[in-house]
């Protein structure tokens, strides 16, 4: 059996709690603010993405819902929802965790909350015995590539997507960090 993150954990300024069903709409509204992501990966904004992740997960090939966690990221002092964290445990190896999605709302970006989230996530996963974390990043998303590399995700385990660069082609890097 794969160990998964607890229902609730926290960092200095943030609380990470598994999304509750009655919070789906609030988180979908936050997710809608990430619509610029489509410029980087070519996807359309999905008006029911959070609901889909909540009920079925964001699973890798052969993945199971029990290994997937969707967290609301909230400010500790005000309980304001500022982010989304989606993690799959045990992919591609049992001792690997995969960050499927990390988003901090636009008005809170640049204040260190993404970095704080990544550091605390790494600490929590280490406690559970994980040896590496992976993240998939759109090649056109320079801010995210910089963020993940600065966070120590300095290994590349794959490049996926279109083979030719153009305005309407897209590719992703799979980065990893040894814990």
Q: Does residue 40 register a pLDDT over 90?
A: no
**Look-up: residue for tokens 């990221």?**
73
pTM comes to 0.93
Q: Can you tell me whether residue 144 is helix, strand or coil? A: helix
Which of 81-108 are b and which e, b meaning 16 or more Cβ less than 10 Å from the residue's Cβ? Answer: bbbbbbbbbbbbeeebbbbbbbbbbeee
Residue 55 has what pLDDT?
Answer: 98
Pairing label, strands 96-104, 132-138? parallel
pLDDT tens per residue across span 120-152:
999 999 999 999 999 999 898 889 999 999 999
């Amino acid at each position: 059996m794969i160990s998964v993150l607890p229902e609730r954990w926290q960092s200095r300024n943030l609380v990470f709690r598994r999304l509750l069903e009655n919070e789906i709409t609030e988180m979908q509204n936050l997710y809608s603010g990430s619509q610029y992501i489509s410029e980087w990966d070519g996807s359309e904004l999905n008006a029911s993405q959070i609901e889909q992740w909540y009920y079925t997960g964001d699973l890798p090939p052969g993945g199971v819902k029990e290994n997937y966690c969707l967290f609301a990221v909230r400010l500790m002092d005000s309980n304001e929802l500022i982010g989304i964290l989606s993690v799959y445990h045990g992919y591609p190896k049992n001792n690997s965790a995969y960050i499927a999605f990390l988003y901090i709302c636009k008005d809170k970006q640049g204040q260190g909350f993404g970095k704080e989230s990544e550091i605390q996530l790494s600490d929590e996963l280490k406690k559970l015995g994980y040896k590496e974390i992976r993240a998939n990043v759109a090649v056109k998303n320079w801010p995210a590539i910089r963020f993940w590399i600065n966070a120590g995700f300095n290994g590349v385990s794959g490049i996926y997507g279109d083979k030719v660069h153009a305005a309407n082609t897209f590719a992703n890097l799979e980065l990893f960090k040894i814990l």
